[in-house]
Structure 1
Amino acid sequence: MSAANRRERPEPPEPLPVPTVDAHTHLDACGCVEAADVATAMDRAAAVGVTRVVTIADDLPAARWAVQAAHWDDRVAAAVALHPTRTAALTEDDHAEIERLARDPRVVAVGETGLDYYWDHSPPQAQQESFRRHIDLAKRLGKPLMIHDREAHEDVLRILSEEGAPDEVIFHCFSGDAEMARRCAEAGYLMSFAGPVTFRNARELQEAAVVVPEDLLLVETDAPFLTPHPHRGRANEPYCLPWTVRALAALRGVSDERIAESAERNAERVFRLEELPPVVRSVTPGAEDARSA
């Protein structure tokens, strides 16, 4: 497949029978810059039943943009944090700005934070210190903690236990096996599944997806990354979520409608989506702060 084809968006999937929520996407990395771009991407998603998204930040510029985007479109909420691979040289000012942005009323989670031992961009000690600070922030703000966990399961679980987990914890793009899923379920942690659960070589992940309790299940794209089968390697966007929903339904032996409904219900609960203040078309204080930061 050529580089041009890999970047090309696939044709839209068949619409879902009921609406659902993309619990983790990166609209800025999907090429959205302005409000019109966000509206266009959300229109594409809504046409196939993906009616709301949480757009995620992993550094300060992305965090400022995510807050701004959440004030552009009622279908978009934001989560902000400093990604573990960005933690090698954080300052007190960096953490202070993330806290300020996280207090915005349209920010529904602190994330993505956690540990990533696959890449060596940041030493484990720096990652762990930042992770602990994000855990504390989520607890002080009363917002969910969205975790990035790559090849770091034991340390992630250990630090959550040592620090005391927030009331709501989400393992984004869950990557563990069935035993890890059971341990997370026992702790009451939510698990969000992305495109890799559709991959043919993902047997352990697929076994994990089967054992997750329905009330702890979320779905996501992690767009523009991890495009689901049969379009692996091409551009991903929230409108691609139905392929993952249908793969999960087939694995669990239930209807597409049931997965979409339960994922939406769980997203509404954990992110408190019904409590979000509506977008005000004039500039809001939170959005102005994000613009000027």
Structure 2
Amino acid sequence: MKYIQIQGVEKPISRLFMGTGDLRKIEEPQRLMLDAYIKAGGNAFDTAHQYRGKELVLGQWLAETNLREKLVILTKGAHHDDGSPGPRVNPQAIRKDLSESLERLGTDYVDLYALHRDDPTVAVGPIIEELNEHIQAKKIRAIGASNWSYKRIREANEFAASRNLIGFSFSSPNLSLAKPKEARWEGTVSADEETCDWHAETQLPLFAWSAQAGGFFSGNFAPDKLDDPEMVRVYYSDENWERYRRAVKLAEEKGVTPIQIALSYVLYQPFPTCAIIGPRNPEEFESSIQAMNLVLTAEEVEWLDLKKEEIGR
């Protein structure tokens, strides 16, 4: 396993986060997969207050295994779809969601806490101040933003610096080799070229959700296969099919699969990255480990992303 460090978190953080969005209950297949993840050195879990019941399932597994202090837990709050309708990015929602998340997880702190959505009409000051109160209370070790634009993150961190407060230590937008034509879900943000340039400049770590673009590179999709409306709406474009073609070609040269190339692309950005993955069994997890251990050159990454016409050999 490979790791990164986040300011405020003493533990090293595995570059492959285990996602819990599809975790319904811990039965034998899930237990085997989680065992394989831990055995491989994985220690980071991604969950959210808005993921119906997932925090409870994860909390039960943590209690059974007694692994809490060895693991890094990232949870998220202040999602628009939790509680009252409409934007909920405010101190009251943060306080409520964090308290409920801690109870569900059966812990008195989370290593990483992110705001799940943004409301650009809300000033960043009260949000940063509220999150810092929870850091001071030792309920949170480090804070970040999921689905915030880099400009809002920059504004929040400038406010924090001006008040001698702790700012966002990471961002968690979508980042994948296949570029979405439009938001996959309402209020979500994908890292475009300008965002990636900012991350390269600041070296702020990025935790990528949908790092494998919903399986776009799995071989299960084709330009004339239109039975998945969401994939068609979000990812079907001439540019993405060219990225797919290049991923297939590079995979053949390296003796791996296109979806492994796509995951490796996310992990070989010019700034610190982690990928949130959702394997369904140990075999799929092993595929992700192999992708993490692939070596891609900066030139190959640029070629995959259509920024170069050829790779010099």
Give the TM-score, by structure 1 length: 0.51
Aligned to 2:35: 43
Deviation at 1:149, TM superposition (A): 1.9
Q: Which one-letter code corresponds to 2:145 in the other structure?
A: I
Q: 1:102 to 1:134 in 2, by over 3 A?
A: farther
Deviation at 1:56, TM superposition (A): 1.6
Q: 1:22 to 1:56 in 2, by over 3 A?
A: farther
Deviation at 1:58, TM superposition (A): 3.5
CA RMSD of aligned residues (A): 4.8
1:107 aligns with 2:154: no
Choose the corresponding residue for 2:296, options 245, 250, 259.
250
Deviation at 1:211, TM superposition (A): 5.0
Q: Between Structure 1 and Structure 2, how many residues are aligned?
A: 214
Aligned to 2:270: 212
Taking the aligned partners of 2:94 and 2:47, their CA distance within structure 1 comes to 17
Which blocks of at least 5 consecutive residues in structure 2 are unaligned? Answer: 4-13, 176-189, 218-238, 244-261, 301-313
CA contact (8 A) 2:47 2:74 kept: yes
SS in 2 for 1:218: strand
CA contact (8 A) 1:23 1:220 kept: yes
Deviation at 1:144, TM superposition (A): 1.8
Taking the aligned partners of 2:198 and 2:134, their CA distance within structure 1 comes to 21
Q: 1:109 to 1:72 in 2, by over 3 A?
A: farther
Q: For 1:64-75, list aligned pairs within 5 A.
A: 64-73=56-65, 74=67
Taking the aligned partners of 2:122 and 2:134, their CA distance within structure 1 comes to 19
CA contact (8 A) 1:30 1:237 kept: no
Give CA deviations for 1:186-229 in whole Å, capped at 9, x if unaligned.
444212342249858397x999865524xx332331x37xx9xx
Taking the aligned partners of 1:154 and 1:212, their CA distance within structure 2 comes to 19
More relative contact order, 1 or 2 (CA 8 Å, 6+ apart) = 1
Aligned to 2:23: 31
Choose the corresponding residue for 2:79, options 61, 78, 84.
84
SS in 2 for 1:98: helix
1:56 aligns with 2:44: no
Taking the aligned partners of 2:109 and 2:292, their CA distance within structure 1 comes to 26
Choose the corresponding residue for 1:192, options 203, 207, 217.
207
Q: Which one-letter code corresponds to 2:44 in the other structure?
A: V
SS in 2 for 1:125: coil
Deviation at 1:108, TM superposition (A): 1.4
CA contact (8 A) 1:114 1:128 kept: no
CA contact (8 A) 2:169 2:205 kept: yes
Taking the aligned partners of 2:112 and 2:270, their CA distance within structure 1 comes to 21
Taking the aligned partners of 2:61 and 2:166, their CA distance within structure 1 comes to 26
CA contact (8 A) 1:192 1:219 kept: yes
Give CA deviations for 1:42-79 in whole Å, capped at 9, x if unaligned.
134357x4633313214385444444443333275422
Aligned to 1:231: none
Taking the aligned partners of 1:134 and 1:245, their CA distance within structure 2 comes to 36
Taking the aligned partners of 2:146 and 2:117, their CA distance within structure 1 comes to 5
SS in 1 for 2:141: coil
Question: As a proportion of its length, which structure holds more helix?
Answer: 1
Taking the aligned partners of 2:36 and 2:120, their CA distance within structure 1 comes to 39
Q: Which one-letter code corresponds to 1:191 in the other structure?
A: L
Q: Which one-letter code corresponds to 1:26 in the other structure?
A: G
Deviation at 1:113, TM superposition (A): 3.0
Taking the aligned partners of 1:219 and 1:238, their CA distance within structure 2 comes to 12
Taking the aligned partners of 2:29 and 2:94, their CA distance within structure 1 comes to 28
SS in 2 for 1:39: helix
1:147 aligns with 2:145: yes
Deviation at 1:110, TM superposition (A): 0.8
Taking the aligned partners of 1:105 and 1:245, their CA distance within structure 2 comes to 32
CA contact (8 A) 1:219 1:245 kept: no
